[in-house]
Amino acid sequence: LPEIVSMKRLENRKYKIIGNIPYYITGKLLRIIGELRKKPEIIILTVQEEVAERIVAGPKRMNLLAASVQLWAKPEILDFISKKDFKPWPKVDSAVIKFEILENNCSEFGDHPAFGGSIFGINKISPCQPLDAGEDAQFFNSHGTSRQ
């Protein structure tokens, strides 16, 4: 996807992503989109119903996928599609989900390896403000890891 954006010279143009994607690539696709410097103006995807419900979830039901998506987009379920509407029937129901790209999104923050800290209760880390060198070292040392 990043190569397509670059190759098609979409960095300076508006574009949209709309599709019925294989459900097993949903998380990876959203991670890749989240890392794009030039995001589409809108994304509409058909995904597994349970995944869509988790993506739009609030803090008590939110998982890492939902938290990372909600840094750069406002997801909204537009409609549900019964598995009976497909032939052959899949094993799960589906949902159409729209991702409205946030104007002041935290895309650049996804490059910082500690971005999950604010999501998981380490309050001094702001999702849109990288740590300074001292805080960075302190964070990783206190969690028994390094940036590498």
* 40-67 residue pLDDT tens: 999 999 999 999 999 999 988 889 999 9
CA distance 116 to 8: 32
Q: What is the pLDDT of residue 134?
A: 54
Q: What is the DSSP string of 29-80?
A: HHHHHHH-SS--SEEEEEEEHHHHHHHT--TTT--HHHHHHTTTEEEEEEEE
Average pLDDT of every residue of the chain: 76
Q: Which residues contact 16 (CB under 8 A, 6 or more apart)?
A: 40, 41, 42, 43, 44
Give the pLDDT confidence of 9-34 residue by residue, as tens digits. Answer: 666 678 899 999 988 999 999 998 99
